[in-house]
């Protein structure tokens, strides 16, 4: 089938859920904590595609090899250099945050991958990746990517107030969590503001950047908003609990999906894992970072998290701890039940 992995030495990658991340500068630890959260809860095998500066490659390899075998057997990984196939590489590299524009080139670089989930380094999974991976099956015949809205309320959203370029919908979309059918992206001719006929994804990127570079603030995310403004039928919009950011609670709770179901994917943008402005986000990051792999999830992850949350109730985000805890509690119960069933089943054979 088009886009499937063809490497005979890696047959398992055919069944993989593909996860891509771009790490430059000081993002090594953040990326490893994100990958750890993915491995802790996911069910199916994972294929990690890590795009990193050359200086970070040996560090990634060293740290990943230190993980216990009970977890390393759940994934395989490749580390790639930072490359841009069209335009000025230095210009792309400096766009918004270092190397962030690399995500725009994933369809071009990962030619053997059919679909993948791209996430920023500051993302944490609070439930199995399997659950967001299922959204690929919900795409209609024209949809080839999925993202969450940048904001839930247009009157306080950034794009609706300040954008000087076209953007998707009424509030724009946030590209920190992006599900992509790469096969469809590679085969689609995209409508655009450059020429009357369609352009392929790779043909469109650099001319689009040249046209709008004086008007964009958020780099590659703005370019994606421009692309899907002209091609709205290509985008599936998933709800805010799949890309939950400080904006969803720091001005009062405005993500209804998270209130009902709990946060599925936490996105700690604004650097909130590393300062004291949003202690609820920082608490989740630190507990997952410090969790010893082989320990009991409830004892060494969930209970410390509850304890840390008690210190955040004075903040707007901290007033709604159930939003952060609901999904992770549900996920841990499933992990525990599965292990008990496997254990009992193994004993039953003797």
- CATH number at 129 reads 3.90.550.10
How many distinct structural domains can be found in the chain?
A: 2
Q: Is 300 a domain residue?
A: yes
Q: Which residues pair with 115 in a beta bridge?
A: 181
Judge whether 6 lies within some domain.
no
CB atoms near residue 96 (< 10 Å): 15
φ and ψ at residue 153, rounded to 5 degrees? -120, 110
CB distance 237 to 150 below 8 Å = no
In a domain, 350, yes or no: no
pLDDT tens figures, 84-103: 888 778 788 777 676 888 99
Same domain, 233 and 279: no
Rg (CA), the chain: 20
Closest of 30, 67, 47, 39 to residue 128, by C-alpha: 39
Q: Note the pTM of the prediction, 2 decimals.
A: 0.91
Does residue 114 lie in a domain region?
A: yes
Cβ-proximal residues to 141 (8 Å cutoff; 6+ apart), any chain: none
pLDDT at 8 over 60: no
Q: Angle between the 321-348 and 279-290 helix axes, to the nearest 10 degrees?
A: 20
Same domain, 116 and 173: yes
* 207 and 71 inside one domain: yes
Given a cut of 90, whether residue 164 has pLDDT beyond it is no
Q: Is residue 224 part of a domain?
A: yes
206/257 same-domain check: no
Average pLDDT across the chain, whole number: 89
Is the confidence at residue 3, as pLDDT, over 70?
A: no
Do 45 and 155 lie in a common domain? yes
How many CB atoms neighbour CB 63 within 10 A? 15
Whether pLDDT at 31 is above 90: yes
Same domain, 231 and 314: no
pLDDT tens-digit readout, 230-268: 999 999 999 999 999 999 999 889 999 999 999 999 999
The dihedral over CA atoms of 76, 45, 333, 298, expressed in degrees to the nearest 10, equals -10
Q: Over the stretch 282-312, which tens digit does the pLDDT of each residue have?
A: 999 999 999 999 888 889 999 999 999 999 9
SS3 145: strand
Res 294: pLDDT: 83
Structural domain harbouring 210: 17-238
């Amino acid at each position: 089938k088009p886009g499937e992995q063809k490497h005979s030495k890696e047959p398992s990658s055919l069944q993989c859920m593909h996860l891509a991340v771009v790490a430059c500068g000081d993002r090594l630890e953040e990326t490893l904590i994100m990958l750890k959260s993915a491995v802790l809860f996911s069910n199916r095998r994972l294929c990690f595609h890590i795009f990193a500066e050359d200086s970070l490659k040996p560090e990634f390899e060293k740290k990943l090899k230190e993980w216990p075998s009970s977890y390393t057997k759940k994934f395989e990984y490749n580390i790639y250099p930072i490359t841009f196939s069209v335009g000025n590489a230095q210009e792309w590299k400096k766009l918004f945050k270092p190397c962030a524009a690399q995500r725009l080139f994933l369809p071009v670089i990962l030619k053997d991958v059919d679909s993948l989930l791209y996430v920023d380094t500051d993302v944490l999974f609070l439930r199995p990746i399997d659950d967001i991976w299922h959204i690929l099956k919900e795409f209609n015949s024209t949809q080839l990517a999925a993202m969450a809205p940048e904001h839930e309320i247009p009157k306080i959203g950034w794009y609706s107030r300040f954008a000087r370029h076209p953007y998707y919908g009424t509030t724009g979309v946030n590209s920190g969590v992006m599900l992509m059918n790469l096969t469809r992206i590679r085969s689609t001719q995209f409508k655009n503001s450059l020429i009357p006929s369609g352009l392929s994804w790779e043909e469109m990127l650099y001319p689009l950047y040249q046209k709008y570079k004086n008007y964009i603030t958020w780099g590659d995310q703005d370019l994606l908003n421009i692309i899907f403004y002209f091609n709205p039928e290509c985008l599936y919009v998933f709800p805010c609990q799949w890309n939950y950011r400080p904006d969803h609670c720091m001005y009062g709770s405005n993500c209804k999906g998270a209130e009902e179901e709990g946060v599925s994917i936490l996105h700690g943008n604004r650097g909130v894992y590393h300062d004291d402005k949003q202690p609820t986000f920082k608490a989740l990051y630190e507990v997952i970072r410090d969790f010893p792999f082989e320990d009991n999830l409830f004892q060494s992850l969930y209970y410390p998290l509850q304890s840390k949350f008690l210190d955040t109730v004075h903040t707007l985000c901290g007033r709604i701890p159930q939003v952060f805890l609901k999904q992770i509690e549900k996920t841990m119960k499933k992990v525990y039940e599965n292990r008990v069933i496997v254990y009992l089943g193994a004993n039953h054979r003797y």
